[in-house]
Amino acid sequence: MTRLGLADPEREARLLTRIIETISAGLDLDEILHGVASLVTETTDTDVCFVHLLDDSGRRLVLRGATPPFDRLAGQVELKVGEGVSGWVAAQRQPAVIVTDKLADDRYKYIPALRGEDFTSMVSVPILSKPRHLVGVLNVHTRDRREFTDADVELLRSVAGLMAGAIENARLHRRLAEREEALERFTERIVRAQEAERRRLAGEIHDGISQRVVSLSFHLSAAADAVAAAPGVAAREITEAQLLAEAALEETRFAIAGLHPPVLDDLGLAASLASLARSFPQLDIETGAEPCRLPAHVETAVYRIAQEALQNVAKHAAARSVQVRLMTRGDAIILEVQDDGKGFAPVELDGHTGPGGYGLQGMRERAELLGGTLELRSSPGDGTMLRLRFPASAP
């Protein structure tokens, strides 16, 4: 008959230190649990360790961490609180020790997958966070008979206490990540709804105002042909009316493009950027866009950022040439707009005003919605470079 051997102070300190290192290495709950289980068995000369966690309902324990070969069972073994030794420990919030003859213990429940017949002795301690909030149960088993002292149990309780904090932090991190994902999905829905509304308005303008203006132009043309009296004056007036009608039609088309760039639907993002460049004839714009098909709301956001950037160049940069590049780099997509204009000092952008600062906040907000970043580099006399970088699987 041998002892567990946990009571040696040096061994205790080594175990606790390594566990602290393990739980401090990251916030992935499964990695923490499997890592701690392996450390416990390695340091205490036990044969297997199981970590059961209380589920969200507070009524069931789920095996979440274990040493091989039982680690493959994580998530597949469940016990009700009060069921089996682990369930009893969870219900009573106190340890349980079985040295031999588990089958004679009324608390014991045989679970074939965990092969209880291969192990003789065990210790089960509750994993508690303050104040005595149950997180789960930690079990260690040995094939040979072992006597566990009070000091052994207390050390395992200390291990469980360290685990409790790590588990709570990992769960909090997971919940925050889930809420962030939900917020991203909500934001995506908002953007899609906005674009859908813009498309609806664009359709109404196109089918209503535009068609009326076209009809007006046709009627005025017919009137011009039919006027007999004072033909010169009438012709000039009608010509002026036609010009006004054409201008109204052009403004309508511009409004449609402002609500939603239809070129994206027809040509895709890469070709749309080239088309956008041609709408600034005063600039020599070179485009280089790698073909990439993205969700519609992502393409719209990228297009709008490029559009705003080029408008800033045209209005403020005094540039002659501009380069627009759309690139894929690994799992990231990069949009760059670089000009040879007069540039500016970054301090001029404080508060998002000054040369090049118009619309910067809106561009940054769009970048954040894509889960990306917007970087602006400039210095007096050296032009300006704007870089949008976002993950290919943008939120």
Per-residue pLDDT of the chain (395 residues; tens, 9 = 90+): 344 454 567 777 777 777 777 777 666 777 888 888 888 888 788 999 999 999 888 899 999 989 999 999 998 999 999 999 999 999 999 999 999 999 899 999 999 999 999 999 999 999 998 777 899 999 999 999 998 888 888 888 888 888 887 787 777 777 787 778 767 876 777 777 677 767 767 776 776 677 667 777 776 777 787 777 777 777 777 777 777 677 777 767 666 666 667 778 778 888 889 988 998 989 999 999 887 778 888 898 899 899 889 989 998 889 999 999 999 988 899 999 999 999 888 655 544 444 344 478 778 878 887 888 999 998 898 899 999 999 987 55
Residue type, 317: A
Rg (CA), the chain: 35
CA dihedral 232, 238, 240, 241 (to 10 degrees): 170
CB count in 10 Å sphere of residue 211: 13
Q: Where are the beta strands (DSSP E) in the chain?
A: 2-3, 48-54, 60-66, 78-80, 96-98, 121-129, 133-142, 146-147, 284-289, 321-329, 332-339, 373-378, 384-391
Dump the DSSP string for 212-274: HHHHHHHHHHHHHHH--SSHHHHHHHHHHHHHHHHHHHHHHHHHHHHH--HHHHHH-HHHHHH
Is residue 321 a contact partner of residue 216, using CB atoms and an 8 Å limit? Answer: no
Burial level of 177, CB count in 10 A (0-12/13-18/19+)?
Answer: exposed
Residue 161 Cα to chain centre, angstroms: 31
- Position 356 scores a pLDDT of 40
User: Is 185 buried (19+), middle (13-18) or exposed (0-12) by CB count in 10 A?
Assistant: exposed
Can you give the pLDDT at residue 93?
A: 93
**Of the candidates 24, 27, 51, the residue with the CA atom closest to the CA atom of residue 40:** 51
Angle at 54 between CA 50 and CA 59, to 5 degrees: 125
Helix, strand, coil: what percent of the chain each, to 5? 55, 20, 25
CB 5 within 8 A of CB 44: yes
User: pLDDT value at position 193?
Assistant: 66
Distance (Å, whole) CA 257 – CA 205: 11
The string of DSSP letters for 123-165 reads EEEEEEETTTEEEEEEEEEESS-EE--HHHHHHHHHHHHHHHH
Rounded distance, CA 319 to CA 334, Å?
A: 22
- Cα 96 from Cα 241, distance rounded (Å): 95
What is the pTM assigned to this prediction? Answer: 0.46
Helix (H) or strand (E) holding 37: helix 29-44
CA 61 to chain centre: 30
pLDDT of residue 351: 43
CB 269 within 8 Å of CB 292: yes
Report which DSSP code applies to 119: -
Evaluate whether 121 touches 98 at the Cβ level (below 8 Å): yes
Count Cβ atoms below 10 Å from residue 169 Cβ, excluding itself.
15
Q: In 3-state terms, what secondary structure has residue 64?
A: strand
Nearest residue to 95 via CA among 131, 126, 138? 126
